[in-house]
Amino acid sequence: MGGFDGVGHIAVLDTTLRDGTQGEGISLSVEDKLKITAKLDALGVSYIEGGWPGSNPKDIEYFRRVQKMNLKHAKVTAFSSTRRPRIKVEDDANIQALINAQTEVVTIFGKTWDLHVFQALNTTLDENLAMIRDTVSYLKAHGREVIYDAEHFFDGYKGNPTYAIETIKAAAEAGADWITLCDTNGGMLPDELKAIVTAAKDSVNVHLGIHTHNDSDLAVSNTITAVMAGVMMVQGTINGFGERCGNANLCSVIPNLELKLGFSCLPLGNLALLTETSHYVSELANVVHLSQQPFVGTSAFAHKAGIHVSAVSKNPSTYEHVEPEQVGNKRRVLVSELSGVSNLRYKARELNIDLPLETPESKKIIQKIKDLEHKGFQYEGAEASLELLLRKGLGQFRDYFQLESFKILMEKRENNGIVSEAMIKLKVGTETVHTAAEGNGPVNALDNALRKALEEFYPEIKEIHLSDYKVRVLDEKDATAATVRVLIETMDQEATWSTVGVHPNIIEASWQALTDGITYALYKKRDKKT
C-alpha cells in the first residue's frame, strides 16, 4: 500500500465497452463489443468492463456470449449500482442481473457525495452506507471479486470529507477487493487530487483504483498523479472515448506509466500492440482516428520542418520523447513547403528511392513540390501521389495510359433521380480505347469508365476500389469558383494508399487524384521493386 516507488504492476481496467459507449456518436453492436474484447485481451489489459447487464438487452446478450470466449489475460467484469434505497439487496433486479451475468468480477458504483444522497437518491446518509455494505457483502457471498467505484469521490470529499471516507470504509469493511476513486465530473486539478487520494489511502486497507473524466483536459495527468500517490489500478478507455469530454485515455496513460515511470501495465512486449489496438477500436466505432493523438496517432512521430528532419536523421531523440516502435507506431517525414533536402532524402530512402544529395534533380523536385503546394496540393496525406511525383522527377516511371479526352453528362430522370454518364477516350500503348459508363455521380461515372477502359489491358484493376473520397474548399471567399482539394483513398487486399488533386473544377481535381490512385496501383503491382 506504499506510495510512488517507480516499480510494480498497475492493473488496467478498460471501460471502452461500458463508459466509452456513453460518448456522443459512439455505438457498438454486440459483435463489435466481442471483437473489441478479443483485441483488448490480446493487448493484455487486466479487466474489461463489458457493460451494465441490467440496463439493456444488448449487454445481456454480450455477457451471455462472452462466456464462450477463451480469454488469456483479461477478466470480464459486469457493472451496476448498489441496491436501491429501502429494499433488500436480493430483491433488486439490477443486482440479480449482475449475478446472472456470471462474470468472475463485478463492478458496482455507490454514492460518495452527500449532495447526491439527498438529491439523487432521496434517502439518508445512513441508508446510503447500508446500501453499500449490503451490496458488497451480498456479491462477495456469491463468490465475486468486487470492484467498488466511489462515484463523485473527489467532489464528495471536498463537500464533506468525513462522510466521503465513511462510504469507502463501508465498502472495505464489507469485503470489496478494490475501491476506485472517481472524478466523475472531471473537474479536479492534480495537486488537490493527490491530497485526497492520500487521505483515502490512509483510511482503508484495500487496493485503490482511479477513474477520471476529461472535462478539464486533465484526465491522463490526474490518473498518473493518482498512481504516483499509491493507487494500483487505472480505469479508462481506448482513445479516451466517454461521456461529455471523455474518460482518461489509456493510449496515453499506459505508455506514460510503462516508459516514463517504470511500471508494468501489460505483459512484456505487448505495448507494441497499442497503436494497432487504438486504430482498431476507432474503426469498429466508426469514428475518425485523431491523427494528433499522442503515442498512437499518425502524426505523433511526424516531422515536417527541414531542421527537425535533419536532426532526427542523426539522432531520433532530438525531437522524439520515445521510440515510436515501442508503442507500435512509426516515424513519418512529411514533404511540404517547409521541406528541405533532408526531408526529401529521408522520404526517398523510406520509399526505396536512390536520391543523391544536392543534385539538380533533387533541387528541382523540391521546388516543384513547393510550387504545387502553393497552389493547394498537400502531400502529407497523399504519399502515393508524392512517390509518383518523385519517380517521375527522377525518370523512374512510365505512363500506363494517356488521356485523350473525357466528357460527362448529367441527366435527371423522373423515376431514377439523377444519373451521370462518363465517356472517356484513352491511349494505352499504341491502342486507342473509347468507352462509357454510368455512375451515381460524375466522379463515380468517371471512375467506372476509366476502369472499364483499362481492365482489358490491366486485369489487376478489378482488385482495387475507392475506400474514401474527401473534398476541401481552399478559398471559401471565392464561393462556387473556389479551388478545391480532393483526397482519394484507394485500397486492395494488401494495402491502402492516398492521392491528391487540386483545381478550381472539382471534376478535374477528382480526375487527378483518381488517375494517381489507379496509376500507383499499376506501378505497385507491375514495376515497384520491394
Cross-sheet strand order for the sheet of 484-491: 465-473, 484-491, 496-503
State the residue for C-alpha cell 481552399. 474
Over residues 450-479, the mean pLDDT reads 84
**How confident is residue 343, by pLDDT bands cut at 50, 70 and 90?**
low
**How confident is residue 1, by pLDDT bands cut at 50, 70 and 90?**
very low
Residue 461 CB burial class (10 angstroms; 0-12, 13-18, ≥19): buried
- The string of pLDDT tens digits covering residues 226-250 is 999 999 999 999 999 999 999 999 9
Q: Of 393, 412, 431, which residue constitutes the final position of a domain?
A: 393
What's the rounded Cα separation, in Å, for the pair 426 and 461? 16
Contacts of 60 (CB under 8 A, 6+ apart): 53, 97, 101
The three cell numbers locating residue 382? 497523399
Contacts of 175 (CB under 8 A, 6+ apart): 136, 137, 140, 146
Is 66 inside any structural domain?
yes
- For the domain that residue 214 is a member of, what is the CATH number? 3.20.20.70
Contacts of 321 (CB under 8 A, 6+ apart): none
Over residues 99-107, the mean pLDDT reads 97
Report yes or no on whether pTM surpasses 0.85: no
Instruction: Note whether 369 and 335 are within 8 A (CB).
Output: yes
Residues 147 and 275 in one domain: yes
Residues 244 and 208 in one domain: yes
Kind and range of the H or E run holding 65? helix 57-66
Residues 274 and 417 in one domain: no
Q: Of 361, 393, 425, which residue constitutes the final position of a domain?
A: 393
Is 290 inside any structural domain?
no
Is 1 inside any structural domain?
no
- The string of pLDDT tens digits covering residues 154-197 is 999 999 999 999 999 999 999 999 999 999 999 999 999 999 99
**Angle at the Cα of 181 from the Cα atoms of 59 and 132, rounded to 5 degrees:** 70
For residue 149, pLDDT beyond 60 = yes
Is 313 inside any structural domain?
yes
Contacts of 110 (CB under 8 A, 6+ apart): 81, 82, 128, 131, 132, 135, 148, 149, 150, 151, 167, 171
Show the domain range for 317: 302-393
Residues 497 and 354 in one domain: no
Among 165, 161, 157, 59, smallest CA distance to 107 is for: 59
Count how many domains the chain has: 3
Residues 237 and 311 in one domain: no
Instruction: Note whether 154 and 179 are within 8 A (CB).
Output: no
What's the rounded Cα separation, in Å, for the pair 209 and 484? 50
Residue 368 has a pLDDT of 79
Residue 172 has a pLDDT of 98
Residues 239 and 208 in one domain: yes
Could you give the residue ranges of the DSSP H alpha helices within 74-189? 93-100, 114-119, 125-141, 153-159, 161-173
For residue 390, pLDDT beyond 70 = yes
Q: How far is CA 82 from each of CA 211, 242, 433, 507, rounded to the nearest angstrom?
A: 18, 22, 73, 60
For residue 422, the tally of other CB atoms under 10 A from its CB is 24
Q: How far is CA 337 from each of CA 350, 368, 386, rounded to the nearest angstrom?
A: 19, 10, 13
Is 294 inside any structural domain?
no
Is 291 inside any structural domain?
no
Residues 151 and 216 in one domain: yes
Residue 386 has a pLDDT of 84
Over residues 436-443, the mean pLDDT reads 91
Residues 144 and 42 in one domain: yes
The three cell numbers locating residue 278? 487504438
Q: Of 250, 285, 320, which residue constitutes the final position of a domain?
A: 285
For residue 306, pLDDT beyond 70 = no
Residue 307 has a pLDDT of 65
The three cell numbers locating residue 118? 439527498
Q: Over pLDDT 70: what percentage of the chain? A: 90
Q: Which residue has the higher pLDDT, 344 or 24?
A: 24
**How confident is residue 4, by pLDDT bands cut at 50, 70 and 90?**
very low
Residues 157 and 219 in one domain: yes
Average pLDDT, the chain: 89
Residues 268 and 338 in one domain: no
Q: Is 432 helix (H, G, I), strand (E, B) or coil?
A: strand
Residues 163 and 277 in one domain: yes
Q: What share of the chain is helix, strand, coil (3-state, %, to 5)?
A: 45, 20, 35
Report how many helices (DSSP H) and strands (DSSP E) the chain contains, helices first: 17, 16
Residue 23 CB burial class (10 angstroms; 0-12, 13-18, ≥19): buried
**How confident is residue 375, by pLDDT bands cut at 50, 70 and 90?**
confident
Is 43 inside any structural domain?
yes
Residue 263 has a pLDDT of 97
Is 2 inside any structural domain?
no
Residue 524 has a pLDDT of 83
Contacts of 399 (CB under 8 A, 6+ apart): none
**Angle at the Cα of 422 from the Cα atoms of 513 and 428, rounded to 5 degrees:** 65
What's the rounded Cα separation, in Å, for the pair 527 and 530? 9
**How confident is residue 330, by pLDDT bands cut at 50, 70 and 90?**
confident
Residue 363 has a pLDDT of 73
Residue 479 has a pLDDT of 62
What's the rounded Cα separation, in Å, for the pair 156 and 289? 35
Q: Is 317 helix (H, G, I), strand (E, B) or coil?
A: helix
Residues 375 and 444 in one domain: no
